[in-house]
Structure 1
Amino acid sequence: AMTSNFILNNFLTYRDQRLKGFGILRGLLAFYLVCSVGLLANVGVAFSVYDQEPIWWLAGAAGALMGVVWNYAISGLFVWRKR
């Protein structure tokens, strides 16, 4: 899932900053790292919300939102930053 998301981001979302050549591999590895931290944040927020209010869909939505915001913001800064 991370690999396909990276490819879509590289060709659509960040097309004006598209990574090419060796930069694709470097960017993919950085994207894996960023998304792995996003996964931990997602799970942490979901557990925290569920502890406060045990509604599974609310906890899942809060975790997913955290993951989306984190992955977009941080990958924009560290994977597709202007050079």
Structure 2
Amino acid sequence: MNQAITVIITFAQKNKVYNIEIDPLTKVQELINEFHEMLHPAGNEKIQLKYQGTQLRPNQTFEEQGVRKGTQIELLVETQGGL
């Protein structure tokens, strides 16, 4: 088993920063699901995680996408559809 790594999640829309320990073999979607439970976005809002300006692919692990200990990841809640 890999050692857990600490990543820094910045949620600029709410001026919050989260330090989170994750297993690098965790799929990105698993962390998105945890934030979904915590933030309760509206039905037309989608949670995205971005690393170095690129959206992380939900079906891949953090390790597969180059996320390492101390990495800063942006959390965005975006409204889909609408005007």
Tell me, yes or no, whether TM beats 0.5: no
User: TM-score scaled to structure 1, two decimals?
Assistant: 0.35
Give the number of the structure whose residues are more often helix, by fraction.
1
User: TM-score scaled to structure 2, two decimals?
Assistant: 0.35
